Chain A
Amino acid sequence: MQVTVEEFGDIGKRLTLVGKLDIVGAQTLELPMATLSGSRCNVVVDMIGVDFIASIGIRHLVLAAKALARSSCKLVLLNPSPLVTGVLVTTGLEDLLPIVRSDDEARAALAPAGSH
């Protein structure tokens, strides 16, 4: 699993994942995700390069989303593949881990309530 972090405009960070979000991928993700969770900023997790996901990977995303929510920040998942989307939907976590399909959708999802 390759993990890169960059700015996502002026509203948060983009965390780009490439590879398998399995037990090893989850370990790789742990530190950067913990750092972002503590940074009190919105996070867009770019999932287009994730070709496999298991529950242990989902657990790390859930933990990050919960931590960010405590700081009134949000986490969204950008463009997971159909197979990965199927797994995420099956777990019933769409509310906690909303899926968006474009940068524009991500911006809209992360915008403060009431803003345009």
Chain B
Amino acid sequence: MRVDEVTASPEKRTFGVSVNDVTAIDSWVEGVTRRLGVSEQTAFRTRLCIAELATNVLEHGTCRAENDHIVISIDSVGDGIKVEFLDTRRQFDPTANTPVPPFGDPLNGGGRGLLLLHAYADKMKYADDGTYNRLKFEIALAD
């Protein structure tokens, strides 16, 4: 795991791409949501969306840079949590298709992570700047 930078608001951190990093990401996100004082449900949804993205990068992403990494920033906005998730792997737009159940063969597990992302994240916007896949989204505050 690499930890390159930590800032105050928004909270931002850089991770590598490994199983240990996916675990570290979740622990960090859990801490950030605790510091933001959001509800258990909002925290859970934020953790889930970020875990799905990080796992997707690890399992399916194709390297396009030597210094493979993920950068996550989290900030509170008026009515929710704003997340920016960057990764250096090959272009992949998770907003391109909206999976709906039932989907595919349950054996291959494909699409379930994206389904959850689409279910819980709002205002998703994707861009590829040549270095990063950049996904922005928001998690609405819940009781």
Residues of chain A touching chain B, judged by Cβ–Cβ distance below 8 Å, are 20, 22-24, 27, 52, 54-56, 58-59, 62-63, 66, 83, 87, 90-93, 96
Contacts and interface: CB of A to CB of B under 8 A. Distances in A.
Interface of B: 19, 22-23, 26, 40-41, 44, 47-48, 51-52, 55, 58-59, 101-103, 106-107, 109, 112-113, 115-116, 119-120
26 contacts: A20-B26, A22-B23, A22-B26, A22-B55, A23-B23, A24-B19, A24-B22, A52-B47, A52-B48, A54-B51, A55-B52, A55-B113, A56-B55, A56-B59, A63-B107, A66-B106, A66-B107, A83-B44, A87-B48, A90-B119, A90-B120, A91-B115, A91-B116, A92-B102, A92-B103, A93-B101
Q: What does DSSP make chain B's interface, helix, strand, loop or mixed?
A: helix
A96 B103 CA distance: 13
Nearest to A52: B47
Q: Which 10 A-B pairs have the closest CB atoms?
A: A92-B101, A59-B109, A55-B113, A55-B112, A83-B44, A54-B51, A90-B119, A62-B106, A23-B22, A24-B23
A56 B23 CA distance: 13
Contact of B109 (A27, A55, A96): A55
A62 B116 contact: no
A22 B115 contact: no
B112 A52 contact: no
Contacts of A23: 19, 22-23, 51, 55, 58
Contacts of A55: 52, 55, 109, 112-113, 115-116
B35 to A, nearest CB: 18
B40 A59 contact: no
A64 to B, nearest CB: 11
Contact of A54 (B19, B48, B103, B107): B48
A54 B59 CA distance: 14
Contacts of B116: 54-55, 87, 90-91
Contacts of A20: 26
